[in-house]
Structure 1
Amino acid sequence: MSTKEVVSSSRHVARPLDQQARSRELFVIAVDPETSFPGDPFVARLRSEIGDTADRESLPAALDGLRDEAVRWSTAESRRFEELGSTATAPLGTESLVRRTALAAAPLALRSGAWLQWQSAPGNADDATTLRILTLYASDVGVGRPQDSRGSVYLALLRHLHLSEHAVPVARLVHDPRVADHHFCLPATLLAMSRRPAEFRPEIIGADLCLRTVGLLPALRLVRQAHPQLVEWSAIDPSAARDGETRTGLELCLDVIEHGFDDAELARVTDGFRWAFTVLRRWSTSLLAELEEALDPAYEMAELLRHRAREGAVYHRDFTVADRPLSSWLEEARTDPRGLLAELAASRLVKPGRSAQSPLVNGLVGERGPMFRVFSPADLVVIRRWIDSLPTGQPERVRPGPVHEGRTVSPELLASVTGGAGTGGPVAGDREPADVREAYHLLQQRTDTPAVRRFAVDYVRGWLARSRHNMATDPQRLPDVWGREGLRPWLVEQHDRQGRDFEESAGAPMPTREDLVDSTVQLAPLTLIDGAWLQGFTDYEHAASEQGYFLFETYWDELGNGVPRMNHPLIYREVLAEMDVQVPPTASREFAEWDGFRDGSFELPVYWLSIGRFPRTFLPEILGLNLAMELSGVGGTYRRARQALKSYGFSTKFVDIHNTIDNVATGHSAWAADAVDTYLASLPVSHGAQAITEVWDRVRTGFRSLNPPTGLLARRAFRRARKASRSLAAI
């Protein structure tokens, strides 16, 4: 389902009082891994709201004071939720509170840490602060382990509680009518903020510090109290250390702040903390009030009536309650169900205190009744609990308080996203890059404009068309058919071949020192963005998925696992320095315009930078490209490069690292093959063999795209495909 379809449908599935569903809409836009928030209106509006929303009167001004206050609040608020859980009548009352709380926290907890997902980009991949943030994020997503992000553990909790019907993929959560719109407000705003990392880094880290200082959400203490052994609660607590790690999430975040920001940026970190703390406190207060009201079974019954009133109002025009058509009562119940609830309690459909004898949940919903399957089993539990709570004898006309509603996303903020530039509308001065050098510079960052984004899509489609040209004649291509035995046997064969090629070329002359330096320099635009084709797999849903976790771990390795001395771009710069070559910073315009590079040295890097922005659209091609990249030097090219570098006294560290971590047994090449196999094996059998063939052809094209043909006809295919892509976008 496309983002537009999800957003459109979400407007119709929200709770009836949430007609605009603004927080839902922003959430579903912001979780899209290929989303874009270009233009100034969104940034200006969000920055204004951060300042206007934050409670500056009652909260401390300094960051340390805010942290102390957050700890005090969390302790006291947790106690309130635990006490509330203790007062509920077991088992139905307690489980009702548990279910409501788990669902209310789901939009935030299922994306715990996701606001850090775009902090690293090709242009800042060697920056020390970026690497610290990436270390923190890698812990959150459970790097190296599938389905082990903090959000994945929370999903396991929802599954244990039988509440996960709408939780996968997370965009479907907006379809769950049990999750009120205001529960999406904080996570939607944080995720939207994450899509403009350059503008909001200090505020994002401040908000992150707030959430880690608070630790496990106070509301979730109620759930943990009821189910202490259900999941690994420390994995859900963002302040805690993950299994096997020595530093906690809070310590890692504090390390980022201590070493990564100057005084002006620290003030913005404080603003982000204060804003998040303000919104979190209001949300928690709202939820606590809702749960207190929900202790009364009449509250949940009123809520159920409101949820189901719209479809029910179409029927029951001939059935009367208190001399009024039930359909009329249901129309009223869409906004205020209290009147209908009181009349139902006094009607012949209900036997107060005796749900087993009440027609409403007995004969009417039986397999021969007129309301068979109208109510779900969970609905029937709510109805029976309400009936059993009614006083026997002459029933009182119970009129519960109004169903609680909390804060939602402002219409101005949503309009700044959906009303213009945020959805690809015109941006002042927006234009496509004039050439590959300018494209290289503009694509270094995560944020783009509609024109730059169109350029990237067109460039990828053109490059893939070039890669498909005469593919059947390429001796280095992937097998024509993917077999169920997977790629590991083929991978070992390729490694053996590359080893033989190396041995056969042992007598070949070394390149001259000048040629070695020149080739090293011309590879710099490519190598200094090592891993750029995988940048889309930092997105939360991909980073922990069954096939994506291989790719995120590969990306994590390319950047040195957060350690600057192991960072591949930095290591490559050390080699250039040994060669007396000083190039400008990679993300700078000066780098792209440096006359020491030839224009052709930017063609493949721009493809990497472009395809990496679309991890969903071009997933099969990226899987193939990644396999080609990781296999390309192992056993042969890296060994030849090592000999050449060593012969002239240059460091061999860069090629040595790659020849080991890319190995075909347990390294990146093996992971790349496994990622392809996992993806193809996961295709539904119902799609048939043709679907696997089509996807496999796309993987093969991606594999060849690392070294596409260079002939005239191949380049003509590139130009034709780019032109066709532009024409398609213009329709």
Structure 2
Amino acid sequence: MHIFKTKPTAAPLGHESERVDARGAYRIAVDPERRLPREVLAAQLHTLLAVSGDEIGSRPSDLIEYAQRWSRQAAARHSELFDRYREDNAVYEVLVRRTVLGCAPLASMAGAWLQWLTCSGTCEDEFALRTLALYATDLGAGHARRSRGQTYLSLMRATRLSDYAEPIARLAADPRIPDRAFTLPATLLLASRLPSEFTAEIIGADLCLRAVATLPALAPLATHLPTATDWVRLAFDTAPGEEGPGALRRCLELAETLAADPDRAVRMVRGFRWALYQLEEWDNALFDELHRACDPAVEMAELVRARAREAHVYHHDFVLAGRSLSDWFTEARTDPGPLVRALADSRLIRPGRPDASPLITTLVAENGRMFRVFTDNDLAVIRRWIAALPTETPAASNVGRSTPPPPLSLIGLHRPHGPGATPMGIREAYHLLHAREQTDALHHYAAGYVRNWLDRVRETEVHLPTTWEPTGLRTWLLDQHDRHAVEYDSCDEPLPTREELIAESVQLAPMILIDGAWLQGFTDYSLASTEIGFSLFATYWDELGNSELRLNHPLIYRRLLGDMGINLPPTASKEFADWDGFDDKAFAVPVYWLSLSRYPQSFVPELLGLNLAIELSGVGGTYRRMRRSHASHGFDTRFIDIHSTIDNVSTGHSAWASDAVDIYLATVTGTGGAGAADQAWQRVRTGYAALDPVAIGL
């Protein structure tokens, strides 16, 4: 089934050493801190996305209908293949194994292409917030290990195929997965790292995948292995707690919003058509692989090819059909068919009788020359091949000569990003750091800013315990809440005047209008549903109102400023950073937040400490005083009230923050011992101290 008039133009070629294949691109794309060559990558992705397919229409509804029809037809084809071999356990196991592995690169990162479409620069934008809400359905927001990818991991575990599945970058090293399986997800994930360039295309591709729902190759598994995983969760079109295709409806709304703008509409449709083309090509290749693998000789040929490079070293003295076995293996690296046929005719094999064949009896026994050379799965492949061999000499076949589809080949992903411009002062840094993408200059600025900030607070005393105990921080958290309450009750400091309150509120704006920004690194798919990251993502999502504009903290604060007579430019604009009503020092803390958020792996302990300090800082005392101040001058207290509740120390952000620290330290203790945990705890303490601008000398 082919629906496209032309195929994508190949990406521009360069030096061989610069080429990155689909596996390499996938490995690069899943790294949340990886810097990419923006201009080089963007040009290649635009070329790859140039697919013709006018005959499928351009209206979102027409696109969806076409994709759904294709998905049903493709699923029926896969189901028919499975049904054909329902009673043949050996073939059935091959089909299951190859299907699960073949779908793994895409299904393990389902929805990840939406990961960077929201950031501090778009946290007040309705479209971005609706996109974040859609992405939250993929993550299973608020619950650990509930992303669609984690659900697929449970299928891989149930079928005992998860050897390379964690961390996700290792999946690219799984030799059992065909190269072609990485093309679609790698391209989408790379595009996700350039959101300002490819938002429309990403939404179009996402709409296609939502319309397809369950990957066609997985349809028979849902029928044959109904308890292996949560199959409803693996359907791209579903959303937790919603009836029917809730995720598809949400994505369609986003697509219709884009369709109102002619340029973005064209790009959205381009993304949809490209994704459908890639799905069709990949599914055709997978089906062909499955169909061929029903022949035991195909799997045997693949096993021989996989082992040929290593094996040719050890078999110079063994002669097979008049040739050194080493010579056979050299040839088998590109064409294993002749060696497979020669083995079938050799004394190592008894056709139809695996238990009598020396290749898998005496040779692999404890005293055999090939002891432990083959895995259990390898031996199963060889057994199946021998069992299927006819007792009479078969006709020659083309086993092992299939032509793979053209590989993804990208150039320059390992090149430096490009120098870019170093921020000329803290205001320009604030403006530039709102974007997810970064130049080398911005990377060095942000990393240096974080290290310098941390160095200046490293010896600062904080209220955290000097050592972390496995009992956790919950008791300490309650003690701090009590301390804040006592300090509030004993404070007789006069309330600020109206003018003082407005002036203070204005200087806090660069920080509060990016509420949650320190956590935006944990929107990354590989982090957002982990035991540590799920609550950090949930906190970030809460700060933005769970995508409800009326609950969005930056927007609530803007309305408060408006009541005070202060109307500021958009937060991510240069005009905002240059506004002369701000003092330069008003940008110091938010620039630290924005810089730190770029390193959700390198500075995990410091980030956890900062998060705990921020979420705890107001509860019990400061928020109560702020409420009195605002109420006394007739200003809305909504911003303060909402933080007083959601930051609470029992079930709110403060509790989540302390739990995240405890989980992290328990994990470090379990893997690195007490010494590693103590070092990590000191870094948490430093991160906690880093909230205090007084400690920095501001």
Q: Is the 8 A contact 1:55 1:278 kept in 2?
A: no
2:257 alignment counterpart: 259
How far residue 236 of structure 1 moved from its aligned partner, in angstroms, is 0.6
Equivalence for 2:239: 241
How many angstroms does 1:483 deviate by?
A: 0.4
Shift of the 246–654 alpha-carbon distance from structure 1 to 2, 3 Å rule, reads farther
In structure 2, distance between residues paired with 1:684 and 1:617: 18
1:401 and 1:317, CA in 2 relative to 1: closer, same or farther beyond 3 A? closer
Q: TM-score, normalised by structure 1?
A: 0.91
Q: Residues 269-311 of structure 1, C-alpha deviation per residue, up to 9 Å, x if partnerless? A: 1111011111111111111111111110100000011111111
CA contact (8 A) 2:20 2:411 kept: no
Counterpart position of 2:200: 202
Unmatched 5+ stretches in structure 2: 1-17
Displacement, 1:58? Answer: 4.8
Do 1:564 and 1:570's aligned partners in 2 also have CA atoms closer than 8 Å? yes
Do structure 1's residue 628 and structure 2's residue 630 form an aligned pair? Answer: no
Between 1:262-271 and 1:647-656, the stretch displaced more is 262-271
Change (3 A) 1:453 1:370: same
AA aligned opposite 2:118:
S
| Pairwise CA distance, 1:57 | 5.6
Post-superposition shift, 1:408? 2.3
- The answer to whether 1:655 aligns with 2:652 is no
Report the AA paired with residue 558 of structure 1.
E
Are positions 1:287 and 2:298 aligned together?
no
Structure-to-structure mapping, 1:341-420, within 5 angstroms: 341-394=340-393, 398-403=397-402, 405-410=404-409, 414-418=410-414, 420=415
1:125-140 maps to which residues of 2 (within 5 A)?
Answer: 125-140=123-138
1:175-196 deviations in Å (ceiling 9; x for gaps): 1100111110000000000000
Give the letter aligned to residue 492 of structure 1.
L
Residue 433 of structure 1 pairs with residue 430 of structure 2: no
C-alpha contact 1:341 1:399 (8 A) present in aligned 2: no
Alpha-carbon distance in 1 for matches of 2:402, 2:573 = 54
Identity fraction in percent: 49
SS in 1 for 2:43: helix
CA distance change for structure 1 residues 561 and 81 in 2, over 3 Å: closer, same or farther? same
What is the DSSP-based 3-state SS (H/G/I as helix, E as strand, rest coil) of the residue aligned with 2:580? coil
Contact 2:301 2:400 in 1 (8 A): no
1:450 maps to a residue whose letter is D
- When residues 108 and 553 of structure 1 are mapped into structure 2, their CA distance, relative to the original with a 3 A threshold, is same
Structure 1 contact 345–397 (Cα < 8 Å) conserved: no
Residue of 512, 515, 540 corresponding to 1:530:
515
Report if the CA contact (8 A) 2:336-2:400 is conserved: no
1:205–1:269 CA contact under 8 A, matched in 2: yes
SS in 2 for 1:364: coil
| Aligned-partner Cα distance in 1 for 2:558–2:467 | 41
- Residue pairs, 1:24-423, within 5 angstroms: 24-51=23-50, 54-56=51-53, 58-88=55-85, 90-243=88-241, 248-260=246-258, 262-394=261-393, 398-403=397-402, 405-410=404-409, 414-418=410-414, 420=415, 423=416
Give how far 1:396 is off.
5.0
Instruction: Spell out, residue by residue over 1:697-728, the C-alpha distance to the aligned partner (whole angstroms, 9 max, x if none).
Output: 000000000005447xx69xxxxxxxxxxxxx
The 5-angstrom pairing of residues 690-709 of structure 1 reads: 690-709=675-694
Q: Does the CA contact (< 8 Å) of 1:38 and 1:448 recur in 2?
A: no
Cα 1:247/1:349, change in 2 over 3 Å = closer
CA shift in 2, pair 1:221/1:404, >3 Å: farther
Deviations 1:537-591 (A, max 9, x none): 0000110001000100000000000100100000000000000001110010000
Q: State the 1:407 CA deviation.
A: 3.7
**Following the alignment from structure 2 to structure 1, what is the Cα–Cα distance between the partners of residues 52 and 435?**
33
Number of equivalent positions? 679
Q: Which secondary structure state, in structure 1, belongs to the residue aligned with residue 437 of structure 2? A: coil
Q: Partner residue of 2:14?
A: none
Whole-angstrom CA distance in 1 between matches of 2:241 and 2:88: 33
1:371-406 Cα distance to aligned partner (Å, 9 max, x none): 011000001100000000001244555542524523
Give the direction of change, closer, same or farther, for the CA distance of 1:653–1:216 in structure 2 (3 Å limit).
same
* CA deviation map 1:71-94 (0-9, x unaligned): 111111110000011112521101
Instruction: Please tell me the residue identity of whatever aligns with 1:76.
Output: Q
Q: 1:684 to 1:305 in 2, by over 3 A?
A: farther
Contact 1:38 1:447 in 2 (8 A): no
Q: CA deviation at 1:646?
A: 0.3
2:481 pairs, out of 476, 495, 503, with 495
Cross-structure match for 2:439 = 449
Counterpart residue number, 1:553:
538
Q: For residues 602-628 of structure 1, what are the alpha-carbon distances to aligned partners after superposition, in whole Å with 9 as ceiling and x for unaligned?
A: 000000000001000000100000000
Of 574, 597, 601 in structure 2, the residue corresponding to residue 589 of structure 1 is 574
Contact 2:589 2:693 in 1 (8 A): no
Query: Residue type matched to 1:236 in 2?
Result: L
Cα separation, 1, equivalents of 2:253 and 2:61: 14
Distance in 1 separating the partners of 2:79 and 2:662: 46
Q: 1:565 aligns with which of 528, 531, 550?
A: 550
**What amino acid does structure 1 have at the position aligned with 2:622?**
T
What is the CA–CA distance in structure 2 between the aligned matches of 1:304 and 1:26, rounded to whole Å? 25
Shift of 1:685: 3.5
C-alpha separation between the residues in 2 aligned to 1:346 and 1:460? 67
- Structure 2 Cα separation of the partners of residues 693 and 118 of structure 1: 33
Indicate if the aligned counterparts of 1:215 and 1:238 stay in contact, CA closer than 8 A. yes
Matched-pair contact (CA < 8 Å) for 1:234–1:241:
no
> Is there any run of 5+ residues in structure 1 with no aligned partner, and where?
1-18, 716-731
> Are the aligned partners of 2:28 and 2:34 in contact in 1 as well (CA < 8 Å)?
yes
Give the one of 668, 674, 695 matched to 1:689.
674
Asked if the contact 1:185–1:407 (Cα under 8 Å) also holds between the matched residues in 2, the reply is no
* Aligned-partner Cα distance in 2 for 1:404–1:109: 25
The residue identity in structure 2 corresponding to 1:126 is E
Does the CA contact (< 8 Å) of 2:302 and 2:400 recur in 1?
no
Residues 547, 679 of structure 1: 8 Å contact kept: yes
d(CA) in 2 for partners of 1:129, 1:401: 49
Quick check: 1:283–1:407 contact (8 Å CA) kept in 2? Answer: no
Cα displacement (A) at 1:258: 2.7
Per-residue deviation at 1:322?
0.5
Aligned amino acid, residue 511 of structure 2: L
Using the size of structure 2 for normalisation, the TM-score is: 0.95
- Asked if structure 2 preserves the Cα contact closer than 8 Å seen for 1:352 and 1:395, the reply is no
Amino acid at match of 1:87: R
CA spacing shift, 1:390–1:684, aligned 2, 3 Å: farther
CA contact (8 A) 1:467 1:708 kept: no
Post-superposition shift, 1:241? 2.5
Is the 8 Å Cα contact of residues 485 and 621 (structure 2) preserved in structure 1?
A: yes
Q: Deviations over 1:16-69 (max 9, x none)?
A: xxx976001111111001122243221122112211xx1326533444332221
Could you say if the C-alpha distance between residues 247 and 296 of structure 1 is closer, same or farther in structure 2, counting changes exceeding 3 Å?
closer
